[in-house]
Chain A
Amino acid sequence: MNSRIAHIASNTFREAVRDRVLYNLIVFALLMSAAAVVVGQISIDIERLVVINLGLTAVSLFGMVIAIFIGIGLVSKEIEKRTLYTVLSRPVRRWEFIVGKFFGLAGTLAVNTFFMAIGVFVALLYVSHRFQKQDGWVLVALYFIILQFLIITALTLFFSSFSSPLLSAVFAFSLFVIGSFAEDLRGFASMTQGTTRWLATGAAYLVPNFSALNIITSVAHSQPVSGQLVLYNSAYALVYTAMAICGAVLVFERRNLK
Chain B
Amino acid sequence: MTSSRWVTVLFSAFLAISLIASVLLQRGVDHLRTGATLEEVLYISSPQALKRLSLGYDGLLADIYWTRAVQYYGNKHHEGARRFDLLAPLLEITTALDPQLLVAYEYGANFLAPQPPNGAGMPERAIALEEFGIRNNPNAWQLYYNAGFIHYMELKDYAGAAKAFARGAQVPNAHPFLAILAGKMAEHAGDRQMARMMWGTSYQTTKDINVRANAAAHLRALQVDEDVTNLEALTARYQQQTGRFPSSFSELEAAGMLRGTPRDPLGQSYKLMPGGSVDLRTPDDFPFIEKGMPAGYEPPVSPKILPSD
Contact = CB atoms under 8 A, between A and B. Distances in A.
Partners in one complex: yes
Contacts of A121: none
A49 interface: yes
B244 interface: no
Contact of B56 (A42, A44, A54, A211): A211
Contacts of A44: 66, 70, 103, 107, 208, 210
Contacts of A220: 59
A60 B60 CA distance: 12
Interface residues of B, number: 20
B137 to A, nearest CB: 10
B57 A60 contact: yes
A54 B62 CA distance: 11
Contacts of B62: 53, 217
Contact of A216 (B59, B66, B70): B59
A53 B67 contact: no
B192 interface: no
A87 interface: no
A158 to B, nearest CB: 21
A236 interface: no
B55 A217 contact: no
B56 A46 contact: no
B71 interface: yes
B100 interface: yes
A45 B208 contact: yes
A250 interface: no
B195 interface: no
A184 B59 CA distance: 18
B157 interface: no
Contacts of A123: none
A43 interface: yes
Nearest to B55: A180
Interface string B87-131: 000000000001011010001000000000000000000000000
A216 B103 contact: no
A7 B265 CA distance: 78
Nearest to B58: A217
B55 A53 contact: no
A125 interface: no
Contacts of A42: 67, 70-71
B89 to A, nearest CB: 18
B188 interface: no
Interface in B271-293: none
B52 interface: yes
Contact of A43 (B52, B56, B57, B70): B70
Nearest to B67: A43
Given A44-B107, A44-B208, A46-B103, A39 B67 contact: yes
A133 B107 CA distance: 27
A76 interface: no
Nearest to A176: B55
Contacts of B101: 46, 49
Contact of B63 (A46, A60, A61): A46
Contact of B52 (A53, A181, A223): A181
Interface in A28-66: 39, 42-46, 49-50, 52-54, 57, 60-61
Contacts of A180: 55-56
Contacts of A92: none
A256 B52 CA distance: 41
Contacts of A49: 59, 63, 101
Contacts of B210: 44
B105 to A, nearest CB: 12
A214 interface: yes
Interface of B: 52, 55-60, 62-63, 66-67, 70-71, 98, 100-101, 103, 107, 208, 210
Given A43-B70, A180-B55, 17 more contacts: A43-B66, A44-B103, A44-B208, A45-B103, A46-B63, A46-B101, A46-B103, A49-B59, A53-B59, A53-B62, A54-B63, A57-B57, A184-B52, A216-B59, A216-B60, A217-B58, A217-B62
9 contacts: A43-B63, A46-B66, A46-B103, A49-B59, A57-B59, A181-B52, A214-B56, A216-B56, A217-B100
